[in-house]
Structure 1
Amino acid sequence: MSEETPRRRALGRRRRANVEGGRKHSHRVLVTPEEEAVLAQRAEAARISVPRLLIEAALAQHGETATDRREALEELFRVRGYLGAVSNNVNQVAKATNATREVQEDLASTLAAVRATSARVHRVLDALGADA
């Protein structure tokens, strides 16, 4: 069995979660081979099934699907980890600067990483529709 955490597994589901009582209605959709190829490609890119892709797209509000939100949240978790590493580097540069009273060589690259991470956070928040 996988060592994934429940949160990670829930975020990475290909199929929708089961619902109490099951789903009682089904719809049959016929597509051309070209349409099937596009649907399969998009579903694979989103790491979900084709039926889930169709349902999410049809039920999406303001063009945002649950998968889009999941991907944005995953990106926020990645950024959060990177932000921790960058802030650790800022602390190291500040400590060395305070000890020697000389500007450290890493200062420019560290500040560039801070700016890039901040911009990344803003992009993810914009994708989520949040005010940054």
Structure 2
Amino acid sequence: MAEQSERRLFGRQRRANSETPRDAGRYVVKTNAEEDAQLRARAIVAGVTVPRFLVEAGMNANVETSTEQKQTIAELFALSRTLGTVANNVNQLARYANTEGRFPAEAESVVAEYRRLSARIDETIRKLAGA
């Protein structure tokens, strides 16, 4: 008898009953045949029903969706373009310094912007890598 209740506790497919009613939202998700097969297979491997699998996956804070990845990649491209602009400014400052024999005061702000952009690029790459 203890083995049966243990199996039921850890092998349960349904979610445990909730003290508060689950009437806040009901979602209809339409999939094609291939998506349905993949969802069912992943749910079977996880030992849960498809609805429970979807809820657990959706509530997991560590899951990054492809939409979030696309946004992060778009941000990386935007940062790359901005860094190109900063690099152009650095080239202009270097040309000025070589021609005039002195370094302009504006160079400090360009270096600060370069450092800020470099930090943002590093942070974005870490987001993409999942670290």
Offset at residue 64 of structure 1 (A): 1.2
Residues 70-114 of structure 1 deviation map (CA, whole Å, 9 limit, x = unaligned): 110010011011011000000000000011110112110010011
Q: Trace 1:16-31 onto structure 2 (pairs within 5 A).
A: none
Q: Trace 1:1-132 onto structure 2 (pairs within 5 A).
A: 58=58, 62-129=62-129
Unaligned runs of 5+ in 2: 1-30, 38-53
Offset at residue 117 of structure 1 (A): 0.6
Largest Rg, 1 or 2? 2
Q: Scaled by the length of structure 1, what TM-score is found?
A: 0.53
Q: Scaled by the length of structure 2, what TM-score is found?
A: 0.53
C-alpha RMSD of matched pairs (Å): 3.0
Q: Provide the aligned length of Structure 1 versus Structure 2.
A: 84
**Residue type matched to 2:117 in 1?**
T
Which secondary structure does the structure 2 equivalent of 1:121 belong to? helix
Greater relative CO, 1 or 2 (CA 8 Å, sep 6+) = 2
**Residue type matched to 2:64 in 1?**
E
Alpha-carbon distance between aligned partners in 1 of 2:100 and 2:78, rounded to the nearest angstrom:
34
Percent identity for Structure 1 against Structure 2 = 30
Runs of 4 or more above 3 Å deviation: 21-25
Alpha-carbon distance between aligned partners in 2 of 1:23 and 1:125, rounded to the nearest angstrom:
29
Unaligned runs of 5+ in 1: 1-17, 26-53
